[in-house]
């Protein structure tokens, strides 16, 4: 039977994944080697056939490139209107994402056709790339059909550029390609494709001539075709593995040759790796290299573990997928890994059988996995010296002396505790207590101390609890077999199993700690808003996890790297720049610039390279493959974080530009309107003055006064603009002086008397109003603006109230009118630039006066607020921070006060 009982946890994970997948739309990709193979044509033809079955596909966007056959297939299919963008004098048409989402809400069975997945959207679109639009559509539950070429896959981009000599800038992340429910390969032989190009069925004649000399050379087309077919085959292989895991199929399917190479603790494993690499290249198959850590691995010294790490690094450099497993026995772990990954052929070195091993590893593998082909490679290298073998085998068993002293102490303690009870306890009970001591010693101190505890426990039991007592002689010989031998074997087995469980627990804890560290790092990176914060987080993680120094480098627009703050490692810029430019690791432990003391990893994000990570370790040996995988994961997280911060800056700059554009348009609109009215009035008045009766002095004065009022209005508007700009830029230096507030109020009322007309001013100020430090000129203009604002919204003959009050920390000045009041919800908006009290724009004004008032109060450390007045009207309240006046200043109204 192929099927096994499924793992409950795996079944629950699969149910959750299926449920999440059911809520997403389904993606189907028509995939080809290059343009012109017929991807769009095939997609439209399939859509036509689907429409005959009652499903009406919707064209989101189709790029026909003037091909009449393709255009003909679009007839009869529903089309979504395109969204237009103006860019550099041209009108660009793109997929209307909002319209597509709205259409899908109305029709949940919508199938959307979106051509050219790798296309770059026009500036101003929601997403920079069309594939991001497709992801949003899939998240909304919309099924999408699309097209793409092999050169647009992110991880093949450099390979395609090296083959064709042309850099491809539009790429699609591989995870989106792998997540597609279906990929249809559209294949066309190179000769037929070139013929179609010559006939003008792909590009216009002039474009076709250029393409034939460059991209569409036959050698390029052959290489691209092979890449496309191989990538499609890899995807099918991944689908097959997913199907096997989903259905818990363990038997190996020999549908494709594949190699599994086992690395042991022998010096000749480098030879095994190289021989396996040659075999994999000859067969043209993928290969995995695995090292299994068992309880016996704990007895191997660090010096003898270095060949294992070197072999794994070599395999990684030669293109293998390397993995380290932890298990009690090697054979079951290898067979299980082969079944999980459908690897049909296992390669291992021919090793001498140890005297304690009943069967060779190859025999165990043959018994455990009958469907595996096993290849043994002879070790032709030099043998290790016997002394080194003894050092490797026995010295690590001795290990620290503390564990052995604990073993002796444990047996002694059990003996002292049970000896007084020997008359009441049966021998079997005493044996169980000794076995418990062996378990505890094995759990805390490993196999060697457990072995000593077992032997000393048997000796203590014989000496103190078996007659004749206090001698190793035994009266009943049955004790030798029935008790001593069984007790010793059981103790040794328990010690072995406990030590193995301890190793597995330690390995699990190390893996859990590593995953927890990566989780904490990713969570911290998700909250980072600056590249310097990312550099600090990465340095903290690498120091905690590896005890190494690090530096984070980011690239500018020209591709030059720069070191971020917080770097602790010495950076060799030549190595870092090479790694960044070639998108490959360099430095220590790699095959490039390996003499460098640092390891440099390029930061590959979704869109492009973002920089490099430099790690400087104090250890002489390079990082092992497991550590490299953790570092690669760390580099991926850093790259994604830096790219996220980059796009946050892009979005922020775009928002600032949009706001600046909006402000500029509002300013031009408001100023053009407000300037036109007084200018028209001034022109009319000037013409009337020109034709006025020279003898009519009264008429001339009236016209001159009207011209002056219009000019004053324009001057006020210009002053508000200039002063507001100066205040917001921070270039204004306040002339702060201690002075009474009532004098500034009086000056402001006198300055705008002509504008107030018949309106009455009621001023109510307390006699003990304290002196305040402020710039009299600016505060006077604030009060003038408030009075002018009151005059705009109140009729002639009404009253404007000015009052003041003092508190413990602030002094409040209020200007209240009896006008219509503020519209609900605009109490704060009226202080924004170009905002008016009434949305309809009446009475006339630019909307800068109150913004100027807020800016002035802000520079004084105060605030301005607006509220509706009880009984009708509006009140503006200015709050000044109250301070103790300097010695010698007066509390009465006088301008002769000291400077701050």
What CATH number should be reported for the domain holding residue 237?
3.40.50.300
Residue with tokens 């006064």: 705
**CATH label of the domain that carries residue 352:** 3.40.50.620
Assigned domain for 898 exists: no
Question: E-strand spans in 445-578?
Answer: 549-555, 561-563
Q: Is the peptide bond before 468 cis (omega within 30 degrees of 0)?
A: yes
Return the pLDDT at 848.
Answer: 74
Shared domain check, 159 and 121? yes
Distance CA 900, CA 897 (A): 9
Q: Does residue 218 sit in the same domain as residue 74?
A: yes
Angle at 751 between CA 748 and CA 756, to 5 degrees: 95
Looking at the fold, whether 182 and 57 belong to one and the same domain comes out as: yes
Those residues of the chain that have pLDDT short of 50 are 1-4, 267, 355-356, 358, 384-399, 891-900
pTM of the model: 0.48
Instruction: Decide if 68 is inside a domain.
Output: yes
**What's 611's domain CATH number?**
3.30.450.40
Task: Please tell me the chain's helix, strand, coil percentages from 3-state DSSP, rounded to the nearest 5.
Answer: 50, 15, 30
Number of neighbouring beta carbons within 10 Å of residue 244: 19
Among 640, 662, 680, residue at a domain's last position: 640
- Asked whether residue 511 is domain-assigned, the answer is no
CATH number of the domain that 813 lies in? Answer: 3.30.565.10
- 142 with 241, same domain? yes
Closest CA to 875 of 797, 834, 809, 822: 822
Cα–Cα distance, 140 to 267 (Å, whole number): 56
In this structure, are 145 and 41 located in the same domain? Answer: yes
Token pair for 23: 């809520």
Does residue 866 share a domain with residue 756?
yes
Helix 157-164 and helix 218-246: axis angle, to 10°? 160
Instruction: Give a yes or no: residue 2 inside a domain.
Output: no
Residue 892 placed within a domain: no
- Based on the domain organization, do 373 and 412 belong to the same domain? no
- What does the block give as tokens for 722? 């200039």
Instruction: Give a yes or no: residue 696 inside a domain.
Output: no
**Is 483 found in the same domain as 455?**
yes
Residue at a domain's end among 223, 246, 269? 246
pLDDT score recorded for residue 356: 46
C-alpha 308/C-alpha 314 separation (Å) is: 10
Looking at the structure, do residues 877 and 735 belong to the same domain, yes or no? yes
Q: 470 with 611, same domain?
A: no
The two counts, helices (H) then strands (E), for the chain are 29, 25
Task: Note down the domain range covering 336.
Answer: 259-393
Location of structure tokens 């076709």: 208
What pLDDT does 391 receive? Answer: 41
Is 888 domain-assigned?
Answer: no
What does the pLDDT read at residue 396?
41
Provide the domain count of the chain: 5
Question: Are 41 and 141 within one domain?
Answer: yes
Q: ω before 843 within 30° of 0 (cis)?
A: yes
Are residue 236 and residue 92 in the same domain, yes or no?
Answer: yes
Boundary (domain end) residue, out of 363, 393, 423: 393
Residue 712 lies in a domain: no
Contact between 261 and 233 under an 8 Å Cβ cutoff? The reply is no
For 248-295, write each residue's pLDDT tens digit. 666 666 656 778 898 876 645 678 888 888 888 888 788 898 888 776
């Amino acid at each position: 039977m192929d099927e096994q009982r499924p793992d409950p946890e795996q079944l629950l994970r699969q149910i959750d994944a299926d449920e999440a997948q059911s809520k997403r739309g389904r993606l189907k990709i028509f995939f080809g080697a290059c343009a012109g193979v017929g991807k769009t044509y095939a997609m439209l033809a399939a859509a036509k056939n689907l429409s005959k079955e009652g499903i009406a596909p919707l064209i989101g966007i189709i790029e026909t490139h003037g091909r009449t056959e393709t255009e003909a297939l679009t007839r009869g299919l529903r089309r979504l209107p395109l969204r237009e963008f103006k860019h550099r004098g041209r009108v660009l048409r793109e997929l209307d994402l909002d319209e597509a989402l709205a259409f899908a809400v109305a029709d949940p069975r919508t199938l959307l056709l979106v051509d050219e997945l790798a296309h770059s959207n026009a500036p101003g679109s929601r997403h920079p790339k069309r594939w991001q639009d497709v992801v949003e559509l899939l998240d909304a539950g919309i099924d999408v059909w699309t097209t793409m070429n092999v050169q647009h896959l992110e991880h093949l981009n450099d390979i395609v550029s090296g083959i064709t000599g042309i850099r491809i800038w539009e790429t699609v992340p591989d995870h989106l390609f792998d997540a597609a429910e279906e990929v249809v390969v559209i294949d066309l032989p190179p000769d037929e494709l070139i013929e179609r190009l010559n006939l003008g069925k792909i590009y216009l004649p002039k474009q076709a001539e250029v393409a034939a000399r460059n991209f569409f050379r036959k050698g390029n087309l052959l290489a691209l075709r092979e890449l496309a077919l191989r990538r499609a085959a890899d995807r099918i292989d991944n689908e097959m593995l997913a199907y096997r895991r989903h259905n818990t199929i363990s038997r190996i399917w020999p549908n494709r040759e594949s190699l599994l190479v086992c690395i042991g603790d022998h010096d000749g494993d480098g030879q095994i790796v190289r021989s396996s690499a040659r075999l994999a290249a000859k067969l043209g198959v993928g290969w995995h290299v695995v090292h299994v850590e068992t309880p016996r691995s704990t007895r191997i010294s660090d010096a003898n573990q270095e060949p294992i790490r070197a072999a794994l690094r070599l395999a990684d450099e030669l293109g293998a997928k390397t993995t380290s497993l932890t298990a009690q026995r090697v054979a079951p772990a290898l067979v299980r890994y082969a079944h999980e990954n459908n690897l049909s052929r296992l390669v291992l070195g021919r090793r001498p059988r140890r005297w304690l091993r009943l069967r060779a590893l190859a025999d165990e593998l043959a018994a455990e996995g009958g469907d595996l082909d096993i290849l043994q490679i002879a070790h032709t290298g030099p043998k290790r010296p016997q002394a080194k073998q003894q050092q490797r085998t026995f010295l690590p068993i001795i290990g620290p002396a503390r564990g052995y002293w604990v073993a002796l102490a444990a047996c002694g303690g059990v003996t002292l505790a049970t000896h007084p009870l020997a008359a009441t306890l049966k021998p079997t009970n005493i044996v169980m207590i000794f076995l418990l001591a062996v378990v505890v010693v094995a759990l805390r101190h490993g196999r060697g101390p457990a072995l000593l505890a077992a032997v000393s426990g048997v000796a203590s039991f014989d000496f103190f609890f078996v007659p004749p007592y206090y001698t190793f002689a035994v009266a009943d010989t049955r004790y030798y077999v029935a008790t001593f031998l069984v007790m010793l074997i059981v103790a040794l087995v328990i010690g072995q199993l406990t030590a193995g469980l301890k190793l597995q627990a330690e390995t699990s804890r190390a893996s859990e700690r590593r995953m927890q560290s990566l989780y904490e790092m990713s969570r911290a990176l998700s909250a980072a808003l600056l590249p310097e914060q990312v550099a600090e987080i990465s340095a903290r993680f690498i120091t905690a996890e590896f005890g190494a120094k690090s530096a984070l480098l980011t690239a500018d627009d020209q591709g030059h790297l720069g070191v971020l703050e917080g770097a602790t490692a010495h950076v060799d810029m030549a190595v870092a720049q090479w790694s960044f430019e070639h998108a490959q690791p360099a430095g220590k432990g790699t095959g490039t610039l390996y003499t460098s003391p640092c390891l440099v990893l390029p930061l590959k994000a979704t869109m492009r390279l973002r920089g490099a990570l430099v790690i400087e370790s104090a250890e002489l040996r390079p990082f092992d493959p497991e550590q490299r995988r953790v570092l690669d994961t760390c580099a991926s997280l850093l790259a994604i974080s830096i790219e996220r911060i980059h796009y946050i800056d892009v979005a922020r700059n775009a928002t600032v530009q949009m706001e600046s554009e909006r402000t500029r348009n509002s300013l031009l609109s408001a100023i053009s309107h407000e300037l036109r009215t007084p200018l028209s009035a001034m022109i009319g008045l000037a013409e009337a003055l020109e034709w006025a009766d020279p003898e009519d002095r009264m008429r001339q004065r009236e016209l001159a006064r009207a011209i002056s009022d219009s000019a004053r209005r324009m001057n006020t508007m210009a002053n508000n603009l200039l002063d507001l700009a100066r205040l917001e830029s921070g270039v204004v230096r306040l002339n702060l002086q201690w002075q009474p507030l009532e004098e500034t109020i009086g000056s402001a009322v006198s300055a705008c008397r002509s504008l107030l007309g018949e309106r009455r001013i009621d001023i109510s100020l307390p006699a003990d109003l304290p002196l305040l430090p402020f710039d009299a000129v600016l505060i006077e203009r604030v009060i003038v603006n408030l009075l002018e604002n009151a005059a705009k919204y109140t009729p002639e003959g009404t009253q404007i109230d000015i009052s003041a009050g003092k508190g413990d920390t602030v002094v409040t000045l209020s200007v209240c009118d009896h006008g219509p009041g503020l519209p609900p919800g605009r109490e704060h908006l009226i202080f924004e630039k170009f905002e008016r009290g009434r949305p309809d724009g009446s009475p006339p004004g630019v909307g800068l006066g109150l913004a100027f008032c807020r800016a002035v109060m802000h520079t004084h450390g105060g605030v301005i607020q607006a509220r509706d007045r009880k009984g009708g009207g509006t009140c503006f309240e200015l709050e000044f921070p109250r301070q103790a006046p300097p010695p010698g200043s007066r509390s009465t109204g006088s301008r002769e006060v000291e400077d701050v």
